[in-house]
């Protein structure tokens, strides 16, 4: 049996029920097959893939806190420290009821290759809790964050593991987490990224994932000899990634006509008014359907189906497996030419295969959304230097990194005769650096 298939079977057998983790491993191994086949003997002798698919450490803990009614609540907390071959573990914290070990392992595994692609010295990790910040008071969120950090603080540090935000973890949560870390350890260090500007945050970090996605999109469009001017775009989600993707792509002359949240989607033929979305989502923490009440001519539709709207470019920026085979067939039939993933693994495996076989240009999340973690690494650098770069400096570095990732991804695909297959290109380019570092460091 080929080495990649043997390892996939081992992962399924040893991690029962962890379907998201299996899916992520399968996608990576399938596209690395060409590289691994060519080096099979060497990699086998070093147990390279066995070591790559096993997290270095998983920390799992209880998070007790008291709600506003005085009732004790208990959530599950996790940190998956997946791979530190090229730097301290780095990856976000997700607070969402769906969070479980499988989802965090899939995200941590993806993070290894994404972080490698940035060219910066950061290993792969991910963490979070099944806590749902939605509908909680600020005091409840603070109580939860303080309890979560009381345990997590034992395992993280500026040169060890540096978490950031993800779904459900924004500026408010990072602030409460940082305050508690500092109180417990007495250290004022860059242990978290996504911090506020008044206490060590980096300019442009809030915008970085969305802006970076659009800088990547610019490269993809340019490779087709086109520009973003006049393109019709759909951006899914209406959180951090989605909002700043809409902001940048609109600045560059495209028109975003639809966005959604987990309840339904809005369509605005005149182009989404982002100030209204920001007010609903960032200020009032409301629902996207309120947009239709505030903007004449826009329409709200309850439920799924945003992909039924025609577009040139589709940017899934909400969550994993939001885009399935049926949906991409409709996108293709309606003329969609490019899909770039702002979210992590938003496209199912069947849908990805269809996209690659049917000539839609596709950039996977580990390359397209790497601007967030790259700017987090720039925040770490600024914290270490005790110095801050200007917004223009950070934005220019972010743009340079996204261009560089595009070049690496398309070069890796071309080297293996897979021109235009950016899924393979991203996995191969990310893998090469990690493997090199793992081989140099011996069996650890």
For ligand NDP, give the closer residue by CB, 343 or 435.
Answer: 343
Contact positions vs ligand NDP (CB under 6 A) = 165-168, 209, 237-242, 260-263, 317-319, 322, 342-344, 369, 372
Report in angstroms how near the CB of residue 232 gets to ligand NDP at its nearest.
20
Active-site annotation holder among 90, 105, 126, 195: 126
Render 189-241 in DSSP notation, one character per residue. Answer: S--SSS--GGGT--TTHHHHHHHHHHHHHHHHHHHTT--STT-EEEE---SHH
For ligand NDP, give the closer residue by CB, 88 or 237.
Answer: 237
Report in angstroms how near the CB of residue 344 gets to ligand NDP at its nearest.
4
- Using alpha carbons, select from 139, 134, 65 the residue that is nearest to residue 95: 134
CA 350/CA 353 separation, integer angstroms: 5
**Structure tokens belonging to residue 345:** 């693994």
For ligand NDP, give the closer residue by CB, 189 or 324.
Answer: 324
Report in angstroms how near the CB of residue 155 gets to ligand NDP at its nearest.
21
Report in angstroms how near the CB of residue 283 gets to ligand NDP at its nearest.
14
Q: Using N-to-C axis directions, what is the helix angle for 101-117 and 422-440, rounded to 10°?
A: 90
Report in angstroms how near the CB of residue 425 gets to ligand NDP at its nearest.
19
* Ramachandran category for residue 135: left, alpha or beta (phi over 0 → left; psi -120 to 50 → alpha): left
Q: Using CB atoms, what's the residue nearest to ligand NDP?
A: 239
Query: Does the annotation mark 126 as catalytic?
Result: yes
For ligand NDP, give the closer residue by CB, 80 or 242.
Answer: 242
Q: Please identify which residue in the block is written with the tokens 């951006």.
A: 235
Report in angstroms how near the CB of residue 380 gets to ligand NDP at its nearest.
14
SS3 107: helix
SS3 397: helix
For ligand NDP, give the closer residue by CB, 88 or 133.
Answer: 133
CA 60/CA 211 separation, integer angstroms: 33
- 57-66: strand order across its sheet: 57-66, 72-83, 123-129, 89-95, 161-164
SS3 303: coil
**75 phi and psi angles, rounded to 5 deg:** -115, 170
* Residue 121 CB-density burial (10 A; 0-12 exposed, 13-18 middle, 19+ buried): middle
CA 379/CA 382 separation, integer angstroms: 5
For ligand NDP, give the closer residue by CB, 3 or 21.
Answer: 21
Residues labelled catalytic? 126
């Amino acid at each position: 049996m080929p080495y990649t298939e043997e390892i996939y079977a081992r992962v399924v057998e040893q991690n029962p029920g962890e379907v998201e983790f299996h899916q992520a491993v399968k996608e990576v191994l399938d596209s690395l097959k060409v590289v691994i086949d060519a080096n099979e003997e060497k990699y086998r002798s070093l147990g390279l893939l066995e070591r790559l698919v096993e997290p270095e450490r998983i920390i799992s803990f209880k998070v007790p806190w008291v709600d506003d009614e005085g009732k004790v609540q208990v959530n599950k907390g996790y940190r998956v420290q997946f791979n530190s071959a090229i730097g301290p573990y780095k990856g976000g914290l997700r607070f969402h009821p769906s969070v479980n070990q499988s989802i965090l392992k899939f995200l941590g595994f993806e993070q290894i290759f994404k972080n490698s692609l940035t060219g910066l010295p950061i290993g792969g990790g991910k963490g979070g809790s099944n806590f749902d910040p939605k509908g909680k008071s600020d005091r409840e969120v603070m109580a939860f964050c303080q309890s979560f950090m009381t345990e997590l603080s034992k395992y993280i540090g500026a040169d060890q593991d540096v978490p950031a935000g993800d779904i459900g973890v924004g500026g408010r949560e990072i602030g409460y987490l940082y305050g508690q870390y500092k109180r417990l350890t007495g250290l004022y260090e860059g242990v978290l990224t996504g911090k506020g500007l008044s206490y060590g945050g980096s300019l442009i970090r809030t915008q970085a994932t969305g802006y970076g996605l659009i800088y990547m999109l610019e490269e993809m469009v340019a490779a087709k000899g086109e520009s973003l001017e006049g393109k019709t775009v759909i951006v899914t989600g209406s959180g951090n990634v989605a909002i700043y993707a809409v902001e940048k792509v609109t600045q560059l002359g495209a028109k975003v006509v639809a966005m959604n949240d987990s309840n339904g989607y809005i369509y605005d033929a005149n182009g989404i008014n982002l100030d209204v979305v920001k007010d609903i989502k960032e200020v009032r923490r409301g629902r996207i359907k309120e947009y239709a009440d505030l903007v004449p001519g826009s329409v709200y539709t309850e439920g799924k189906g945003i992909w039924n709207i025609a577009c040139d470019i589709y940017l899934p920026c909400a969550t994993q497996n939001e885009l399935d085979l049926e949906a991409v067939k409709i996108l293709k039939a309606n003329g969609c030419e490019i899909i770039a993933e702002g979210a992590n693994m938003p496209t199912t495996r069947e849908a990805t295969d269809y996209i690659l076989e049917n000539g839609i240009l596709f950039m996977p999340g580990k390359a397209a959304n790497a601007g967030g973690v790259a700017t987090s690494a720039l925040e770490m650098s600024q914290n270490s230097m005790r110095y801050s770069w200007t917004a223009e400096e950070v934005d220019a570095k972010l743009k340079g990194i996204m261009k560089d990732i595009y070049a690496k991804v398309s070069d890796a695909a071309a080297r293996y005769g897979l021109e235009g297959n950016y899924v393979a290109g991203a996995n191969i380019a990310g893998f090469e650096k990690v493997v090199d570092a793992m081989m140099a460091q011996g069996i650890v």
